[in-house]
Amino acid sequence: MMERGVTLEVGNDGVAIIAFYNPPVNALAIPILDGLQEKFAEAVRRDDVIAIVLTGKGGRFSAGFDINVFEKVHQTGDASVMPDVSISLVVNTIEDCKKPIVAAVEGLALGGGLEVAMGCHARIAAPGAQLGLPELTLGVIPGLGGTQRLPRLVGLPKAIEIMLLSKPIMSEEGKKLGLIDALVASEELLKVSRQWALDIANMRKPWVRSLHRTDKIGSLSEARNLINIARQQARKTAPNMPQHQVCLDTIEVGIVQGGYSGVLQEKKVFNDVVSSDTSKGLVHAFFSQRATSKVPNVTDVGLKPRHVKKVAVIGGGLMGSGIATALILSNISVVLKEVNSEYLLKGLKSVEANVRGLVTKGKLAQDKVQKTLSMLKGVLDYSGFKDVDMVIEAVIESVPLKQKIFSEIEKACPAHCILATNTSTIDLNIVGEKTSSQDRIVGAHFFSPAHVMPLLEIVRTEKTSAQVILDLMTVGKIIKKVPVVVGNCAGFAVNRTFFPYSQGAHLLVNLGVDVFRIDRAISSFGLPMGPFQLQDVAGYGVAMAAGKVLANAFSDRSFSSPLVELLLKNGRNGKNNGKGYYIFERGSKPKPDPSVLPIIEESRRLTNIMPGGKPISVTDQEIVEMILFPVVNEACRVLDEGVVVRASDLDTASVLGMSFPSFRGGIVFWADTVGPSQIYASLKKWSKLYGNFFEPSRFLEERATRGIPLSVPSSPSPTSKSRL
């Protein structure tokens, strides 16, 4: 077994191989960076070393700087814990080395890994290696010279695209762009790299310091024009992401003042952005997502996941066809069942349309379409269920129908088969009431469209076996979802936490606040669209069905608005028929529809809750808070009842399931940055003015009074048994 660290081996040819190993992804942790400094110094000192090859062990170069250090900076507020290596290691030790250094890259070279490789005098790569600078996704910018070297190696337009979109490229494209000097088979990688390094030493190949290159930059006016265009695009597409503008500013400094000045500027601003609220939120979101894979008494008890080769999906509607698509895209065979030939054909066509749509968007190769679709078979009965490993029921939210299906599949499927339901609101114990296999029953709640949205909410009852949970988590990861395990209750974690979101928006409208202003305020906060545009897009049927279940379950704190029913009565059904709160026309963005305003006035007349019959006066910030503080309040109840394993799971679920802005870290993380006491005081004030909808929960009151963050773990309250 290889040991972590950095090694140096000198061959008879005079080439020193400096190799580092830090599994699983060869992260550039501080001990690795220290080891590299030490081994490079030794190689330079030794007279028997003519040239140097730098490589990573274990089939990977490096996935970049160890971001655990970012978390340490955020926890301590001390940016000095960041290693200062952009000049000392990458410029002084590597780029200005008196002996040529060649990077031998395979697997991946991302972030700091690629930046170190760009500091070398040549880069040789194996086919299929991933190359990229994804730092902006963590709220920072490349910090080891990437903002300066990448434009000089691949040209400014492509460098801006790679950095601002955090979009990796493959080594094959890297070769065409000039980022990679040669592409060779993995088994030849070290041999070719050694020879290349010797050829540089013997002046048979150029000795290139990429920081000094200018041939791909173009004229100053062209460069500035490109950067200004990128700035404008970033303001539109990433208005809440300051690191995009900082990155472009830093690139510009290097172009105007020279590469070394650019590196100095990069070093200076990196320490500012790493301490920013944006970075804190994005890094928290990253670690929260990683933590979801650890579930007590499931992933830590020595169980091994069983291989799920074949899955039956019952129901070929929007959700069922999306689930089937996600499965076949990951080479899992699917049997899709419907009640009649017409519905079955429609479901199969939907799956095919989903797959072909991915080709159109460039997310699937055309030559993989037939193989993918060959994994799908349609059936009208249960005869094809005798060898399935899992069934996912995805029919309408009807308790009798689901109970009937579960009693039928229990008989039709093998004894090991996992029995999953995609219900978004119905108690799993009720779904499986008429079966004797309750240890195999589990919730597999996908979010629409199921082949696109990344969250999979896995719902367990008190009887669901740990093996079934582990198997479904594994399938979730195979189909590129992020599984979050939650307890069984009305609405589970995500829909339950966010049911006050749309209700709060409707409450504000009925208090006289403009519907389009609400949407603008929520969009400015960072969600992709406001609650009313979302309702138009999702469809009113979904809103009404889920709303009724949740309103019944939590009647003590629900607000009922007649607005959606009034819209339906007036022939509006959102995007489905092109008119709702917005007008939807093919090829253009949704436009606010002024003709909806009389319907809204009718709703206000019926609810009659405006104080003194006059609209309330609120700021945009108050709009955001009056909609999202009740969401935080419900999140507190979810935490108190032990519905989720940890608070950060709710953060991940809010970001991936409800599009809560990742740069704010997630719903609980954001609430802690605002402060429980402020949220409690606001809710208390509004509850006196506008009723029980805003009544603070016991958990929030306790945390606010004692000054404890919401995210700090606690035992479930004595009055509520943990759902996990």
Average pLDDT along the chain, 724 residues, taken 10 residues at a time: 93 98 96 97 98 98 95 88 91 97 98 98 98 98 98 98 96 98 98 98 97 94 97 95 98 97 96 95 97 95 97 96 98 97 97 96 93 97 96 93 95 96 90 92 94 96 96 98 93 90 97 98 97 91 75 84 95 91 92 97 97 96 98 97 95 96 98 98 97 97 98 67 62
Give the per-residue pLDDT at 719.
Answer: 47
Question: Which residue, 443, 482, 445, is CA-closest to 464?
Answer: 443
Q: Helix or strand or coil: residue 719?
A: coil
Decide: 428 and 461 in contact? Cβ < 8 Å: yes
Give the per-residue pLDDT at 541.
Answer: 78
Q: Helix or strand or coil: residue 227?
A: helix
Q: Using the Cα atoms of residue 394, residue 399, residue 405 and residue 411 in order, give the sign of their dihedral.
A: positive
Across 237-317, where does the E strand assignment appear? 310-314
Distances (CA, A) of 8 to 47, 113, 160: 14, 18, 35
Cα 373 from chain centroid? 27
Q: What is the C-alpha to C-alpha distance for residues 640 and 663, in angstroms, rounded to an integer?
A: 25
Q: Which class for 112: exposed (0-12), middle (13-18), buried (19 or more C-beta within 10 A)?
A: buried
Angle (CA) 574 539 311, round 5°: 145
Name the residue with tokens 């779904």: 431
**115 counts as catalytic:** yes
Q: Of 95, 135, 338, 625, which residue is the catalytic one? A: 135
* C-beta neighbour count of 141 within 10 angstroms: 25
Decide: 17 and 195 in contact? Cβ < 8 Å: no
Q: What is the C-alpha to C-alpha distance for residues 424 and 398, in angstroms, rounded to an integer?
A: 11
- CATH superfamily, region 5-275: 2-enoyl-CoA Hydratase; Chain A, domain 1 (3.90.226.10)
Q: What is the C-alpha to C-alpha distance for residues 102 and 112, in angstroms, rounded to an integer?
A: 16
The answer to whether 5-275 and 495-706 have equal CATH topology is: no
Decide: 457 and 657 in contact? Cβ < 8 Å: yes
CATH architecture of 310-488: 3-Layer(aba) Sandwich (3.40)
Q: What is the C-alpha to C-alpha distance for residues 696 and 512, in angstroms, rounded to an integer?
A: 23
Question: Which residue, 669, 549, 705, 683, is CA-closest to 627?
Answer: 683
- Residue 721: half-sphere exposure toward Cβ, Cα within 13 Å: 5
Decide: 602 and 682 in contact? Cβ < 8 Å: no
The token pair at 129 is 């290696």
Per CATH, the number for 495-706 is 1.10.1040.50
Q: Of 95, 106, 115, 252, which residue is the catalytic one? A: 115
Decide: 27 and 112 in contact? Cβ < 8 Å: no
Give the per-residue pLDDT at 491.
Answer: 82
At residue 423, what is the residue type? Answer: T
Domain definitions of the chain by residue range: 5-275, 310-488, 495-706
